[in-house]
Chain A
Amino acid sequence: MNDSSPSRSLAGQSAQSPPGAPPRLVEPTLSALFIAFATISLSGFGGVLAWSRRMMVEERRWLTPEQFNETYALCSFLPGGNILNFSVIFGARLRGPLGSLVALAGLMGPPMCLIMIIGAIYAHYGEIPALRRMLTGVACAAAGLMMATVAKMARPLFRSGAVAGPLVAVATFAAIGIVQWPLPLVLAVIVPVSIAAAWVRL
């Protein structure tokens, strides 16, 4: 790790806590990192964020609440899965490239094994009517949960008085959800437009 690496800020803080700083942070070993992300992953049914905050900030003291918020905010606008990016960035800050790989492996490895077993079971029994109806129920509920999320996200956006945001949201929905155009094409057009509109309003 060279001097410009972001790991300095964290390592530096744990070594010499300035007055008024939060309690000393702990630096995890690689195996602790793997176990932490595997635990978060396997206990995080639809709520991985809440679990990761509890473990990283409250239980293990690997991050201060502020560091957690900053890292998470960064991850939510990077491409890819938010929690995947979180594991990569967090692993890198603490233990360099190897830390990234270990954290990502902890996050993805165990659920991957589990989902392949589920896939094998589904391949055999997927046609049983009772199972099919249960899965349909789950799909309905999942769609409903997403609709609630959409409604919650839409409220502040549509009440802000700005035109660009709602327009972009509706256009994205029409292109992807209704006309079903390829995602890369749609994003290549709409993302620059939306960012430019946000830039103008700054």
Chain B
Amino acid sequence: MRADTATILTLTGFFAVLSLFTIGGGNSAVPEMHRFSVEVQHWLTDRQFADTFALAQLAPGPNLIIVTLIGYHVAGIAGALVATLAMCGPSGLFAYFVGRAADRFKGSAWHTALSRGLVPVTLGLTASSAVVIATTADFGWVAALVTFATATTAYFVRIHPLWAFAVAALLGLSGVL
């Protein structure tokens, strides 16, 4: 752990900017978190990143709680706090002011264009997250099979995420993966 000022500043700056470029929910920012913390800063290895993602999925709370865990890994409790505050601050302020004005532009044409235009971008980002996670975890063909089986099952039936996680964790524990 390197809790020096430069690291704290880098964490803060990165997540503050990311906060405003996270569209379509927390998971669409996962590829950028991976690019920056693994490829650019070398804060985590691929494997640690995949573990961090898995832990954040298992823990209760918003998906964005992965930010706290990355911050903690990089710079302990101070890192966890600044990373989380940086991720919540800018977008939170933005939401606050837009929320106050929202009644005025409800139903306007550009409102519709904005929300429709963001759908395909969100789709591309979610697909990217799935691929980044699937390729960073230490995968063999059995693991790929588990991913595929989960995807197919979840497509056709509504399953609670925890059940999927429990089955996959048990498969991992049994040594199949």
Contacts and interface: CB of A to CB of B under 8 A. Distances in A.
Interface of A: 4-6, 9, 41-48, 70-71, 73-85, 88-89, 92-93, 97, 100, 104, 107-108, 110-112, 114-116, 118-120, 122-123, 126, 130, 132-154, 157, 164-173, 175-178, 180, 182-184, 187, 190-191, 194-199, 201-202
A112 B126 contact: no
A180 B39 contact: yes
A135 B55 contact: yes
Given A41-B62, A148-B154, A173-B124, A141 B167 contact: yes
Contact of A145 (B50, B131, B136, B161): B161
B175 A133 contact: yes
Given A88-B92, A169-B120, A74 B99 contact: yes
Contact of B96 (A88, A145, A166, A190): A88
Interface of B: 17-27, 29, 31-32, 35, 39, 47-48, 50-51, 53-65, 68-69, 72-73, 77, 80, 84, 87-88, 90-92, 94-96, 98-103, 106, 109-110, 112-134, 136-139, 143-144, 146-155, 160-162, 164-165, 167-173, 175, 177
Contacts, number: 375
27 contacts: A6-B102, A41-B61, A45-B60, A46-B162, A76-B25, A78-B91, A80-B92, A81-B26, A84-B95, A92-B96, A111-B68, A133-B177, A134-B172, A136-B50, A137-B168, A139-B51, A139-B134, A140-B146, A140-B177, A146-B129, A147-B151, A148-B150, A172-B124, A173-B127, A180-B35, A183-B21, A197-B117
A97 B93 CA distance: 10
B99 A198 contact: no
A170 to B, nearest CB: 7
A146 B118 contact: no
Given A97-B96, A187-B121, A141 B69 contact: no
A80 B22 contact: yes
A88 B97 CA distance: 10
Nearest to B97: A92
